[in-house]
Amino acid sequence: MANRYDLVIFDFDGTLADSLTWFRGALGDVIDKHNLPPICEARAEALRGLTPKQIMDELAIPAWKIPFIASDVRARAAENVDKIHLFDGIRDLIAELAGQGAELAVVSSNGETAVKAVLGEPLVGHFGQFACGAALFGKASVFRKVIKRAGTTPERTLCVGDEIRDIDAAREVGCAAGAVDWGFATPEILSAQTPDYLFSRPSQIAATLEQSQHQASRA
């Protein structure tokens, strides 16, 4: 029987919002503050084609530093929401999904203040849940809580993100894994993970949800 997706869980940075452009400008200050090795532009770009483990190995960042760095970046994002913008087509996508009757949620390592400020009040109203401040590699447990609160199942949930760790978290929980190719990870590295869906335009996400509804109604 075909699955109807009742719940769509979005990552935020790199999926709904172009945070990478802003972060590149802030990267130098973050590196200096946390005594990290310098990263030139070419090296930073090359990271987009690596797996999470390869990225950690390449940067040689001690695991204990990651929460402090993540907290610093969240605070900086909250102070610079005017420099972080939604990708083209995201506003229409959210409105269309809400019109289809889907419940929407954001699960992000970014802070709720920044996420809601970038989305803006009209779009925030379309989301039933915001689970922000999630650990970089702890999304699976958050997905389970969001799904339970939504009153649905993993099989009827589509998770959409821009990184390999988003795909891995969706699979760990048993959700459909959707990857967008306009964020951090390259289309090639995402395709190699064989997600259930690889989106190149926001409109494809709405079309996928609509198709799932039609298939489920005919099954």
For the chain, which residues make up each domain, given as ranges?
Answer: 7-18+84-218, 20-83
For residue 205, the model assigns a pLDDT of: 97
For residue 52, the model assigns a pLDDT of: 77
The H or E element containing residue 171 is helix 164-173
For residue 217, the model assigns a pLDDT of: 65
For residue 1, the model assigns a pLDDT of: 40
Beta carbons within 8 Å of 8's beta carbon, 6+ residues apart: 97, 102, 103, 104, 105, 157, 158, 159, 160, 205, 209
For residue 67, the model assigns a pLDDT of: 84
pTM beyond 0.85? yes
Low-confidence ranges of the chain (pLDDT < 70): 1-2, 136, 216-219
Tokens for 96? Answer: 């269309």
The CATH superfamily label for domain 7-18+84-218 reads: HAD superfamily/HAD-like (3.40.50.1000)
Pairing of strands 103-108, 176-180: unpaired
For residue 50, the model assigns a pLDDT of: 84
